[in-house]
């Protein structure tokens, strides 16, 4: 049991060690950037999926699944889009020993798989809106350094694709996606910034892109999701048209909403500490670990009492693990802390006799859970733990931002920067050069920061209307 390197000393080293110690993934699969979901990591992912499914189906989206292989003929139809993905797709060129007549792309995202079929599904205004999503794996021939969950070559991915009657309805769908992400982020205990990416950094083929960013590590930022307005950019080439109520034929306006396993990386990155991973209860593979403790060297631990507690909590719908293995209690505490389990219930002979347990949460808060209202008390402790996790994350989120008033201040920045920006591309690029990173964009939702009026543009000092924008160095 090696100690983790301290998080404050170097984020990436800590992150890699924390992911390994919790055994969330196995990186030893013999293809770089394609990792194995271990049982423990898979359970976290299943919980992540459940949170996403609940939120997105709550907005009227229906599940579908389209094939993983896309014929090159369909893939080539939207020029901007294909330019953005050409260099990073995997090509299937043979079936058995036979060269394929039409080469197939392993989906890097599913616009070009879905839209030929949407053209068949959408006929009339009565077929709209069409809001469908799928949770699948996508594939990108990534040339940058890969990192578990954060940058991999096979990516667990949620993608919603929608068709709307017009531009305004599509803009409303994007807002609804941003709101749905807020619902999920509450469960992840992740404060985030929703920003509209500048023109030069939008998704290939999009009219505009809204991205969700969080601060991580040493003043870096991590994009943890996106929603895009496509206008008619894809419906034109793919012929997705409908008969409007006035009898005219119109192209649909489209949107997409994308989230991925990177959210697990974000949860580890934001909540983890020098002991390892810290899971919010919605994502934790086990929400409670119950550990029976012997009263003395030769005494047997009260396993039956511990099992009863585990069974009662399981019956209340909690995910509970009874650790009745041979290791010393200290070793178990260490292991389950590193694995991020929200609540540890210790049951010694005294607790067993009274029907109680000692509760220690992953933030180190200790309390007794009495026999009376036992299950309800554990549920309340779990909710209080999530609230505290959220409060701490919000505090760190706020502290991660700092206003910069000059381009000079952006250099070797120890914060994500808030800058006044006139909206000109040239000024945006000067900000990016100064911070050696990206102008992330203008917030779509109010940030949880107190900001004065923005004043003049940080780059050109022009008197044109300026807005607060975020600038940072994406991980």
Residue with smaller CB distance to a copy of itself, 143 or 373: 143
The answer to the question of residue 101 lying near a copy of itself (CB under 8 A) is no
Q: Are 405 and 417 a contacting pair, CB within 8 Å?
A: no
In the region spanning residues 38 to 67, those forming contacts with a copy of itself, defined by CB under 8 A, are: 38-39, 42-43, 45-46, 62-67
The answer to the question of residue 30 lying near a copy of itself (CB under 8 A) is yes
Q: Exposed, middle or buried, 408 (CB in 10 Å: 0-12/13-18/19+)?
A: exposed
Residue with smaller CB distance to a copy of itself, 213 or 261: 261
Candidate ranges 33-41, 240-248, 312-320, 340-348; the one touching a copy of itself (CB under 8 A): 33-41
Query: CA–CA separation, 307 vs 213, rounded Å?
Result: 42
Residues in the chain: 475
Query: CA–CA separation, 103 vs 108, rounded Å?
Result: 15
The answer to the question of residue 106 lying near a copy of itself (CB under 8 A) is yes
The answer to the question of residue 35 lying near a copy of itself (CB under 8 A) is yes
Residue with smaller CB distance to a copy of itself, 91 or 200: 91
Residue with smaller CB distance to a copy of itself, 35 or 413: 35
In 10 A of CB 10, how many CB atoms? 13
Q: Exposed, middle or buried, 429 (CB in 10 Å: 0-12/13-18/19+)?
A: middle
> Which distant-in-sequence residues (6+ apart) come within 8 Å of 39 by Cβ?
none
Residue with smaller CB distance to a copy of itself, 117 or 442: 117
The answer to the question of residue 146 lying near a copy of itself (CB under 8 A) is no
In the region spanning residues 218 to 237, those forming contacts with a copy of itself, defined by CB under 8 A, are: none
What are the Cα distances from residue 179, in Å, to 55, 102, 240? 9, 41, 27
In 10 A of CB 88, how many CB atoms? 13
- The strand pairing partners of 98, in sequence order, are 95
The answer to the question of residue 76 lying near a copy of itself (CB under 8 A) is no
Residue with smaller CB distance to a copy of itself, 31 or 426: 31
Q: What angle do CA 15, 20, 23 make, to 5 degrees?
A: 130
The answer to the question of residue 317 lying near a copy of itself (CB under 8 A) is no
Q: Which of 97, 144, 408, 452 binds a copy of itself (CB under 8 A)?
A: 97
Q: Least distance from C-beta 77 to a copy of itself, angstroms?
A: 12
The answer to the question of residue 438 lying near a copy of itself (CB under 8 A) is no
The answer to the question of residue 247 lying near a copy of itself (CB under 8 A) is no
Q: Are 139 and 107 a contacting pair, CB within 8 Å?
A: yes
> Which distant-in-sequence residues (6+ apart) come within 8 Å of 231 by Cβ?
167, 170, 207, 253, 254
End-to-end Cα separation, the chain, in angstroms: 29
Q: Least distance from C-beta 52 to a copy of itself, angstroms?
A: 14
Q: Which of 1, 9, 94, 330 binds a copy of itself (CB under 8 A)?
A: 94
Candidate ranges 94-102, 207-215, 297-305, 419-427; the one touching a copy of itself (CB under 8 A): 94-102
- The rounded Cα 305 to chain-centroid distance in angstroms is 38
Residue with smaller CB distance to a copy of itself, 1 or 87: 87
Q: Least distance from C-beta 425 to a copy of itself, angstroms?
A: 28
The answer to the question of residue 6 lying near a copy of itself (CB under 8 A) is no
Contacts 24+ apart (CB under 8 A), 320-323: 320/286, 320/287, 320/288, 320/289, 320/290, 321/286, 321/288, 321/289, 321/290, 322/289, 322/290, 322/292, 323/289, 323/290, 323/291
Number of residues that bind a copy of itself (CB under 8 A): 51
The answer to the question of residue 144 lying near a copy of itself (CB under 8 A) is no
Residue with smaller CB distance to a copy of itself, 143 or 406: 143
Strands (E), 232-365: 241-243, 249-251, 253-260, 288-292, 320-322, 343-347, 357-361
**Three-state secondary-structure class, residue 344:** strand
Residue with smaller CB distance to a copy of itself, 98 or 412: 98
Q: Are 362 and 345 a contacting pair, CB within 8 Å?
A: no
Residue with smaller CB distance to a copy of itself, 119 or 460: 119
The answer to the question of residue 73 lying near a copy of itself (CB under 8 A) is yes
Query: CA–CA separation, 97 vs 95, rounded Å?
Result: 6
In the region spanning residues 113 to 142, those forming contacts with a copy of itself, defined by CB under 8 A, are: 113, 116-117, 120-121, 132, 137, 139, 141
The answer to the question of residue 87 lying near a copy of itself (CB under 8 A) is yes
Candidate ranges 3-11, 111-119, 312-320, 424-432; the one touching a copy of itself (CB under 8 A): 111-119
The answer to the question of residue 29 lying near a copy of itself (CB under 8 A) is yes
The answer to the question of residue 334 lying near a copy of itself (CB under 8 A) is no
Q: Least distance from C-beta 71 to a copy of itself, angstroms?
A: 5
Residue with smaller CB distance to a copy of itself, 65 or 199: 65
Residues forming the site for a copy of itself (CB under 8 A): 26, 28-31, 34-39, 42-43, 45-46, 62-69, 71, 73-74, 86-98, 104, 106, 113, 116-117, 120-121, 132, 137, 139, 141, 154
């Amino acid at each position: 049991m090696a100690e983790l390197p301290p998080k404050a000393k170097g984020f990436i080293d800590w992150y890699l060690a924390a992911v390994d110690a919790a055994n969330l993934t196995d990186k030893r699969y013999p293809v770089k950037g394609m990792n194995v979901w271990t049982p423990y990591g898979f359970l976290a992912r299943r919980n992540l999926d459940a949170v996403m499914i609940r939120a997105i189906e709550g907005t009227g989206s229906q599940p579908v699944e389209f094939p993983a292989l896309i014929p090159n003929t369909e893939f080539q139809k939207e020029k901007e889009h294909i330019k953005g993905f050409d260099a990073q797709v995997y090509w299937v060129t043979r079936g058995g020993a036979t060269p394929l007549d039409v080469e197939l792309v392993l989906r890097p995202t599913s616009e070009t798989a879905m839209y030929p079929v949407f053209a068949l599904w959408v006929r009339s205004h009565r077929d709209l809106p069409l809001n469908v999503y799928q949770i699948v794996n996508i594939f990108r021939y990534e040339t940058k350094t890969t990192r578990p969950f954060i940058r991999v070559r096979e990516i667990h991915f949620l993608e919603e694709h929608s068709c709307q009657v017009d531009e305004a309805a599509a803009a409303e769908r994007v807002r609804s996606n941003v709101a749905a992400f807020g619902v999920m982020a509450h469960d992840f205990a992740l404060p985030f910034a929703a920003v509209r990416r500048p023109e030069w950094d939008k998704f290939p083929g999009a009219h505009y892109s809204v991205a969700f960013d969080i601060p991580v590590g040493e003043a870096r930022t991590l994009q943890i999701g996106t929603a895009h307005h496509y206008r008619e950019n894809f419906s034109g080439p793919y012929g997705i048209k409908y008969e409007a109520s006035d009898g005219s034929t119109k192209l649909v306006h489209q949107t997409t909403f994308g989230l991925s396993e990177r959210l697990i990386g974000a949860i580890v990155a934001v909540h983890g500490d020098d002991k390892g991973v810290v899971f919010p209860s919605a994502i934790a593979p086990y929400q409670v670990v119950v550990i029976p403790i012997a009263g003395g060297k030769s005494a047997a631990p009260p396993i039956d009492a511990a099992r009863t507690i585990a069974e009662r909590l399981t019956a209340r719908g909690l995910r509970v693990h009874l650790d009745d293995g041979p290791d010393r209690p200290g070793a178990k505490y260490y292991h389950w802390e590193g694995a991020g389990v929200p609540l540890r219930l210790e049951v010694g002979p005294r607790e067993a006799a009274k029907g109680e347990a000692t509760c220690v949460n992953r933030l180190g808060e200790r309390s007794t859970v009495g026999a009376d209202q036992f299950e309800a008390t554990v549920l309340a402790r779990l909710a209080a733990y999530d609230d505290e996790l959220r409060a701490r994350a919000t505090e760190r989120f706020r502290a991660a931002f700092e206003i910069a008033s000059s381009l000079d201040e952006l250099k070797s920045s120890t914060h994500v920067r808030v800058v006044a920006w006139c909206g000109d591309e040239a000024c945006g690029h000067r900000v990016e050069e100064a911070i050696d990173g990206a102008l992330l964009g203008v917030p779509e939702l109010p940030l949880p920061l107190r900001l004065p009026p923005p004043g003049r543009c940080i780059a050109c000092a022009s008197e044109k209307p300026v807005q607060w924008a975020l600038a940072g160095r994406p991980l």
